[in-house]
Homo-oligomer: A and B are copies of this chain.
């Protein structure tokens, strides 16, 4: 008798998550929201506690041949802070677990913590606990972050409405293109170790890949302007994939305008150099850690002059119709590729 064996790759990451997340009856009234948003929500009285966790695994999420350990530590914290930002919350504490092989010296771990602490200072977060353990191979960093948001200011993926304006911060695709540059330089170096990588031209892209920042500045800007987004998510897997999370949860459809999607000029040129459509890089690249959110049309006036927020489309009432108006005036269906780790 052979037991059934289903490969993870058959389901993909999202399919796997759906299959294992059998919703169990809630056992604590304090558990307000579980799996399915950027952070879980726990009731602590006047405020919501926000909890999110991310695991970074060597060989899957990073390659130590090109990311310096302090940058890696910084990034590991920033990606967690980004999840709290995506709930319109304020990060406050992290716990850090490390799995380490004996390949790592004490000095290497100190370099990693240097980056972790630097991010903690920057984002005003306290490192309050953790676990350090041996790993037979490679480095594993697992961080859980705790944040807070006022009850009426907590933003979910599910609050979008038809006619809401879709906003995105910063620019998209650069982190993905930075990764392509790093991978190429690594190959060049392998073939000829005397070659020095010339990354000068790609500095911005490489920086976006190696040292992303969580957009807490935007959370504070929105707060100052007294705007509460109707829905929000951070862009870790690519604009298209995150948009699909918003429309699925908000039960709406979206229409994007290709010419409104922000792409940095170096990212644009580099995409062309790599024979990648710049918009494809922006839609599916991932790891930009920008914020994607929707606002009620009445809030547009207050936000329209913000230098780093772009209005890329709107929501509408047909969930079956997720489209992009291309630069050529044609309407193309949106597709979410996202990251495939498995």
Contact = CB atoms under 8 A, between A and B. Distances in A.
Contacts of A5: 105, 107
A9 B128 CA distance: 24
A39, A60, A124 — most chain B CB neighbours (10 Å) = A60
Nearest to A137: B137
Q: Nearest 3 A-B pairs (CB), nearest first?
A: A40-B128, A142-B142, A144-B144
Nearest to A36: B129
Contact of A45 (B26, B45, B128): B45
Contact of A129 (B27, B30, B40, B124): B40
Copies in the complex: 2
Interface in A10-31: 10-11, 13, 16-17, 19-20, 22, 24, 26-28, 30-31
Contacts of A117: 22, 24
B106 A19 contact: yes
Nearest to A130: B53
A6 B9 CA distance: 40
Interface residues of A, number: 81
A99 B60 CA distance: 10
| Main secondary structure on A side of the interface with B | mixed
A106 B134 CA distance: 26
Interface stretch (A89-97, A181-189, A277-285, A309-317): A89-97
Contacts of A44: 44-45, 49
A3 interface: yes
A332 interface: no
A327 B193 CA distance: 67
A24 B96 CA distance: 15
A7 interface: yes
26 contacts: A3-B107, A6-B106, A8-B102, A8-B106, A13-B133, A17-B132, A24-B117, A24-B127, A28-B92, A28-B93, A28-B124, A31-B93, A35-B127, A42-B128, A44-B44, A49-B146, A52-B129, A53-B95, A55-B99, A55-B142, A57-B135, A60-B134, A60-B135, A100-B342, A133-B341, A136-B137
